[in-house]
């Protein structure tokens, strides 16, 4: 039975790639991915046939991966982050369901998760995902804006910590401001906001700001935007003789026991 690995490689640093995902890549002859994700893999791609396809060519990429695997080539379809979260995995199954080819049914599919952008960003600032949270894609290319707006409103009313994926792109520049406006109706202006960009990569940047000060023009498609809930806190720790460090955490209620 031919094999298709569907792999999330984490935020970028190969030290955050699981051994299971690494082994799957090593066993593959063919890798299918957006070019940036292949470059992040460095030497792991050596000797492999790399099928680079651009952003926007997701359907073709998933079809290509299924076709390659069906032809007998051990294939990896690769995304950074977790391929199961706002990424290519769901498209593989959507194709299998809605426009299948007979030969695809003989492909043995294995999905291997990776560390997602919200987890990477959270870890750099402490523990903002310590209590109930949600993840919302702000891309309205495939989802009607009304659906997205409803979800933002419900997440705001439920006081969830919120991670926004795909917050901004060259063609989409107003959605994050709209989301901010909705959240300000339910949440304090001082609510902590985290911007995580290229976490674990050379150009890593982390910003801790507030909901009121969140400036959507400072956010791009490589940025993960995380909004604290009404109880999320910023904490400053100052080690002796060293600069202060800010942390963000969302308490789970242990303080009642700490009295």
CA distance linking residue 141 with residue 143, whole number of Å? 6
Would you say 137 or 223 has its CB closer to a copy of itself?
A: 137
In angstroms, give the least distance from the CB of 238 to a copy of itself. 6
Q: How far is the CB of 1 from a copy of itself (least distance, A)?
A: 6
Q: 205-210 and 161-165: which strand pairing?
A: unpaired
- Considering beta carbons, is residue 90 or 209 the nearer one to a copy of itself? 90
* CB-based contact 224:117 (threshold 8 Å): yes
List CB contacts of 189: < 8 A, sequence separation 6 or more.
Answer: 210, 211, 212
Residues 6+ apart with CB under 8 A from 157: 186
CB of 257 to a copy of itself, least distance (A): 6
Q: How far is the CB of 55 from a copy of itself (least distance, A)?
A: 14
Strands 223-227 and 192-197: antiparallel
Q: How far is the CB of 237 from a copy of itself (least distance, A)?
A: 5
Q: Which is nearer to a copy of itself, 109 or 184 (by Cβ)?
A: 109
Q: Is 169 buried (19+), middle (13-18) or exposed (0-12) by CB count in 10 A?
A: middle
- Residue 125: both structure tokens together: 């600032």
Query: Closer to a copy of itself at the Cβ: 170 or 242?
Result: 242
Side-chain-facing half-sphere of 239: CA atoms under 13 Å? 4
Q: What is the DSSP letter of 46?
A: T
Give the shortest CB-117-to-a copy of itself separation in angstroms.
Answer: 11
Residue 47 or residue 142: which is nearer to a copy of itself going by CB?
A: 142
Q: How many CB atoms lie within 10 A of CB 47?
A: 8
Which of 123, 210 has the CB closer to a copy of itself? 123
């Amino acid at each position: 039975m031919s094999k298709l690995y569907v792999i999330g490689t984490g935020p970028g640093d190969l030290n955050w790639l699981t051994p299971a995902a690494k082994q799957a890549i090593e066993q593959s002859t063919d890798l299918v991915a957006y070019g940036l994700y292949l470059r992040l893999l460095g030497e792991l791609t050596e000797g492999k046939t790399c099928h680079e396809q651009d952003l926007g060519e997701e359907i073709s990429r998933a079809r290509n991966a299924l076709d390659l695997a069906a032809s007998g080539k051990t294939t990896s379809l690769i995304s950074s982050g977790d391929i199961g979260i706002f990424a290519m995995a769901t498209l593989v199954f959507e194709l299998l369901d809605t426009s299948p080819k007979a030969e695809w049914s003989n492909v043995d599919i294995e999905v291997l998760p990776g560390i997602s952008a919200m987890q990477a960003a959270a870890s750099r600032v402490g523990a903002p995902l310590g209590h109930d949270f949600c993840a919302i894609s702000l891309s309205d290319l495939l989802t009607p804006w009304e659906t997205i707006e409803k979800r933002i409103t419900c997440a705001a009313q439920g006081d969830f910590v919120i991670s926004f994926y795909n917050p901004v792109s060259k063609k989409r520049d107003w959605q994050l401001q709209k989301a901010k406006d909705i959240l300000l109706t339910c949440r304090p202006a001082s609510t902590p906001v985290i911007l995580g960009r290229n976490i674990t990569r050379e150009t890593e940047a982390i910003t801790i700001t507030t909901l009121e000060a969140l400036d959507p023009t400072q956010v791009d498609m490589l940025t993960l935007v995380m909004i604290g809930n009404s109880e999320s806190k910023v904490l400053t720790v100052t080690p002796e003789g060293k600069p202060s460090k800010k942390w963000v955490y969302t308490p789970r209620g242990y303080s009642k026991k700490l009295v």
